[in-house]
Structure 1
């Protein structure tokens, strides 16, 4: 079902014309049509097909930045090519860490490489706005699908039942955005379908209050989301909600001051033993190839952000950005299944050092391109400084060509079962009740055996090993910043990498940077907001 839902999703970008501006007083952020010929809620929803189309818009918003791909951005102040949700998550979760660095000097982008960002950073403003844009679309969809609205439109019982599942998915995607906002920015407003659309100042909530809201939503969604493995490929089910809740619990001490490792482990055990998602017993490379929706990798991917070279016309969005920007130097773009490279993203020497070698011999996950590349990054703006990364490839796992070479077919694995194994193992190492260390070692060895890496024993299981193993297994999957913060290694001097703090050999950074600043433009729009400590 991959292609059908994707074509609905991306076709709808041209129809709906939903627009957002940052200067609104409401953080539910206005959902208004660009002109009278485009999306108007009441008339649009007279068509029974419209409900799935708006849901598709929510999913499509994870990949693309605007209604015509790279051009007309959903959000103001940052171009459509820069404002893709997945792209912005990659920028904030990867460039700020040891896993990646970007050569480009666009605007304030270099400050993310160095952990020297300020409230004026347009990429942080874009991330904040993109998440609230998704929330605003979800809220409007929920307003338009109440029992009263559906009865007034004469919606039949069969479609009503389907819409109930759509509503649950919209609520999950809203919770996903609130999770990212809580993780990145801390204290943010909470708006739902019960709030008015218009000019009002939403109240900024504490991080703990946002945590409680997300926790409550995800628990409740277990009653209304599709049963595990029963939804269309690319759409959310009960297991995705359990995964996100486990992630929330894994980081609970950071968000609220109280750990919930036991609760995280319980959910991980449920996913591993009873969800129907299974470990993909295929080569590691299959998980990141153009046919990862059908080559066996899909068995472990719980929440993919789906991509399709024919359906998506967004050169700068999602996986297209990750693929193009990671090709340069002497790399042959055609061998990566692409039409060219943008000379942008590499990794740092300290991340390379997590692997036993630089050739993916003793660990197949260490996929570095070294020909003509230096290990040290003397000049951040020079692509050949720093090893390139070849984790993702726009070719099918049998070596045949993808549909196109300008925009990839690769689905981004936002949630996968391997991460559940790692979360369980971490909880066990942290001493969570009702965990089994032998079981945790077995899960880790499944990952390492697939990678042809040496197996480990319980003697190897400590927090430093778990953090490193998370890097080896999950790098460039938008987890690293959150992981480093949870382990106390993101800021400060406990873990140093090149150009951290702005110097070639790296230096300690301020602890307050574990939270991103509330963007200056947001505070200008709503003067009731308080800035995060350290950024005043």
Structure 2
């Protein structure tokens, strides 16, 4: 079916009004129905049928695939703004009107592409899920639980990024300005959704369908909520909240999740003991965003034969020497057997031909093709990825070789392998260690848990740990998985200068409410430090 509706161009503070309204700056737009149900008349909500609930829930899962596999929006806000990733301009490549540089250098405002894009996407997703929850008589208890979990997942990102959550109920008319929940109310709303969802979600362990909401996924998100509660609502960590983190992590472990021995195997597929929740997004964006234009791989065909693809990398995303230095190993070599911890990865001089010479983890130094030949860049220089950029004060003027590249999802698993991890157990394990150090009650010892992770990752055990060690360990374990900004904010380092970010200002720990949202919903107010208070 290809039905269309048109509507007036009222812009809603809640972002895009899913299934009904589309953000528009000045003109009417058409909305094409694809895999969910549109209202027959804007503003008149009719509860979904059982078939409509099923289709809309499927669409909400597809949103995870489409939204979180992208390198823009949520991923850009979490990673490129942090000390973990940056996107230097190489000639004119990756200039993009400065959007990438503004994220790394914390010079954004309420018109930034990704700040607006994430706001619209997340609030659109929330509204879509509201239509399921408002159609409770047509939904099964399991479907309602899934919808509440997914709504909580999207709302958590709104809370984490913006601290204000607009809420448009499915039954609200189009002329109603969405009400706005401030941080405490938003926190309570999300926790209530997850708590109500838990009993009706499946108790999925490592052998079940982890692409769908489960009790373990809900416990994970609740642990993340309580770990960050003091950041969202103010104050300092409360022991009872930290104990809640520990209890939720223990509940995940109780159904069989545990650390997986073989770090890069975790990112092959869901068949491991760590993956709690994943989506079928293509891993292509994570693979190609940093690799050089000449770094190619081989595609596996249906008959199990291989052929070289004609594409190559996009030569963008990189990391810094300072972040690379967090890892144990020889500072001057990342070749196999150079004494580095497993998570830092390696650059092979020669490997199986379908790996095409592409390494794992952090790619630094000379790069090789599948025959062991030293590669060159387009002008003919040796393709040596350097630790330093053209300038310590600017992200412009770089050549094709500058910057360490980072890769976890390897093209040998399929350059479009549809597997992207959202939640995994090592993160929960580290949350528990942090919660113990912040005053939570547990029968486990934080140092013993910390060393359990380091030993399985082939790193040297520690004799003692501090909270600073936990932040660094989270960086080593979870790099490019979409958690770094959240971690830096919680540990107080996001608003302190770090390489290629010189602004020390606490208000930047929260993104601005997009200018378009402020202009259309009077219930929204500018976040502190962004004017108009």
Q: Are positions 1:490 and 2:462 aligned together?
A: no
Contact persistence 2:495–2:506 (CA under 8 A): yes
1:240 to partner: Cα distance: 0.6
Q: Are positions 1:535 and 2:530 aligned together?
A: yes
1:20 to partner: Cα distance: 11
Contact persistence 2:297–2:412 (CA under 8 A): no
Q: Which one of 125, 130, 136 corresponds to residue 127 of structure 2?
A: 136
Measure the CA separation in 2 of the matches of 1:346 and 1:36.
Answer: 37
Q: Which one of 266, 270, 273 corresponds to residue 287 of structure 1?
A: 266
Q: Are positions 1:301 and 2:275 aligned together?
A: yes
Instruction: Note closer, same or farther for the CA distance 1:49–1:203 as it changes in structure 2 (3 Å cut).
Output: closer
Measure the CA separation in 2 of the matches of 1:446 and 1:234.
Answer: 27
RMSD: 3.0
Instruction: Note closer, same or farther for the CA distance 1:335–1:199 as it changes in structure 2 (3 Å cut).
Output: same
| Structure 2 residue ranges without an equivalent (≥5) | 22-29, 41-45, 89-93, 301-307, 345-360, 367-383
Give the SS at the match of 1:91: helix
| Structure 1 residue ranges without an equivalent (≥5) | 1-13, 66-82, 151-159, 309-318, 397-401, 501-506
Instruction: Note closer, same or farther for the CA distance 1:307–1:64 as it changes in structure 2 (3 Å cut).
Output: closer
Partner of 1:346 in structure 2?
318
Instruction: Note closer, same or farther for the CA distance 1:425–1:37 as it changes in structure 2 (3 Å cut).
Output: closer
What does 1:239-258 correspond to in 2, within 5 Å?
A: 239-258=216-235
Instruction: Note closer, same or farther for the CA distance 1:15–1:100 as it changes in structure 2 (3 Å cut).
Output: farther
Instruction: Note closer, same or farther for the CA distance 1:181–1:253 as it changes in structure 2 (3 Å cut).
Output: same
Contact persistence 2:3–2:33 (CA under 8 A): no
Instruction: Note closer, same or farther for the CA distance 1:64–1:197 as it changes in structure 2 (3 Å cut).
Output: farther
Give the SS at the match of 1:346: coil
Q: Which one has a larger percent strand, Structure 1 or Structure 2? A: 2
Partner of 2:80 in structure 1?
95
Instruction: Note closer, same or farther for the CA distance 1:35–1:386 as it changes in structure 2 (3 Å cut).
Output: closer
Q: Are positions 1:363 and 2:380 aligned together?
A: no
Partner of 1:32 in structure 2?
20
Q: Which one has a larger percent helix, Structure 1 or Structure 2? A: 1
Contact persistence 1:227–1:237 (CA under 8 A): yes
1:332 to partner: Cα distance: 4.0
Aligned residues between the structures: 452
Q: Are positions 1:126 and 2:138 aligned together?
A: no
Contact persistence 1:87–1:322 (CA under 8 A): no
Q: Are positions 1:450 and 2:452 aligned together?
A: no
Contact persistence 1:186–1:207 (CA under 8 A): yes
1:87 to partner: Cα distance: 4.0
1:394-438 Cα distance to aligned partner (Å, 9 max, x none): 323xxxxx3xx4xx215221111111110111112222233532x
Partner of 1:525 in structure 2?
520
Contact persistence 1:365–1:472 (CA under 8 A): yes
Measure the CA separation in 2 of the matches of 1:521 and 1:110.
Answer: 22
1:129-155 Cα distance to aligned partner (Å, 9 max, x none): 110011111112223x321xx3xxxxx
1:447-489 Cα distance to aligned partner (Å, 9 max, x none): 22232111223x2x11111100000000101100010111111
1:348 to partner: Cα distance: 1.4
Structure possessing the higher radius of gyration over alpha carbons? 2
Give the SS at the match of 1:125: helix
Contact persistence 2:78–2:485 (CA under 8 A): yes
